[in-house]
Structure 1
Amino acid sequence: MRQPPSRTTLKRTVVAGAVGLTATLGLVAPAHADSGVVNIRGKESFNTDTLLNSLCNGDTGTTYWFINVQTGQLTVDSGHGLPPKDLPPPIEMFQGSCFYPKSSSWTWTGPESRVSNTLVNCSSGSQLSQQLQMNGSTTSTTTSSVKVGGGIKWSALEKVLEFNAGAEYTKSWSYAKASGWSTTTGITVPPKRVGWLALRPDMRTVRSNPFFHIESYSWGDGHGHVTRSNSWRGRGYSNINSQGAYYDAVGNVLDGQGKPSGQYVARDRAVTSSDRC
């Protein structure tokens, strides 16, 4: 698994044009070097949440893009970053890679659900005690804050998020390793009642706000002059995210035996004609 980029020193970069190309490459000195991640939400005229979720859809390798900086529309650069003859505004091009750090996490109580068969006590005066088997499956889901047209590579994203959630969750979280579980416990049902067991599960959400690391960024003036930088739009910061672009990885909190942690609850109701007492 790749590690996030360390402190980036921005440099002036010259790229030689291919033979026969008339483009000239200008040089832009970055305003400053920034090792942090800059939230570009509100800094552009287009929806940067959609931009980040489109760029970071599970991939971790280098990707290559054209962008319309008026609309935010992305197009894959099949030339893989080769210097173009021209970049007519508002089209610009860039390349880089995505990282998926854990931004935050929290534990919450999931909805109560029945986890056993029912036990019917047709007696008028005796309690009914019996062992009941509780069973179910652990939960593992991933959601995106923004729906993107290009789709999300869920299988790749799960592996990335599970790794970046941190070692402390390896054994205590069902995410990306959902499995069936079963356990047996006793229940006592009063006369003329129907009983069952339910679970209020402890759930954990780990959120990741992905960021994109710019390796190269280029734009033109429409007259054969192309400028290249190694920061987002030449603004001096190479790591970008957008506050509203995130992925939520959700799974059961597990106990020491790998079963869902939570509150097990005995429930009962009055018998009815459908219980055939």
Structure 2
Amino acid sequence: MLSMGKSAIVRETRESIGRDAGALLEVVADAVLLASTILVEGGCETQLAEDTASAMGSSYQQVDECTVFVMLTGIMVSVVAKGETVTRIARLDGVSHNIWATDRVIALEQQCEQGKLEAGELLTKLREVREGPRFSPAALGAAAAVGSVGFAIFYGTTSLDALACVAIIAFVTQISGHYASRLLLNSSLTILVQALLATAACCLCQRLWALGIDKLLIPVLMLLVPGMTLATGILDTLSGNFLSATARFGKALLVGIAIAIGSAVVLHYTGVLSWSLS
């Protein structure tokens, strides 16, 4: 009877340990999936997102293996411990280029490697990062205005009237893009709307105050150029992630086409340029 009692206790202890390990796997898998999602949505290159998320999951001693596979449209996470595997899959909707969130996730990964974060605490902090503060449309518009004025000065614009017009147009363009992105399904269509509005506003200022159209239009359109997408595409190419790199370059190409079409249509029908699309 005594040996049977000991066997029951051992079996119950093993089952309890198994349940605890399974619960830990679930939490770690959720945390790794959320971390990789934040990284990719923040504009992080594929290799860095995979390495950071994998290191985060593998930092826990109970985890034998943590594998992360990232694409621009989806993420798959697999966490293994004591023969048990937990898999998570998520679909990505878009990229927000939230550099602050990316930096916070990398900092959390470093804390995990130092053994400072439990799995549950990590998941809580990642959710706080995901739901963290966002810049208001007015703040984004103000940043766009400052950036466009900087581009205008770089391209040789010295007129205060031109600089004021550039700042106002950039502010309105950024605000319109923020609200258009909520209505349109494709980001390229949002860029097209922004290019149309920006070019129309520049043409209006050129007619009213006899300002150079190139001094107005180029600084504003520079804000729409997908520089970060191109940069991450190059990094993906260098790291051998050609599928993700091709997708990023394709997206950048579509954005460039949208900018060109939006500007060309307005310039043609307003008669600012003496050439025809036909």
TM-score, with structure 1 as normaliser: 0.21
Task: Give the structure with higher Rg (CA).
Answer: 1
Structure of higher RCO (CA pairs closer than 8 Å, 6+ residues apart): 1
Greater share of helix: 2
TM-score, with structure 2 as normaliser: 0.21
Greater share of strand: 1
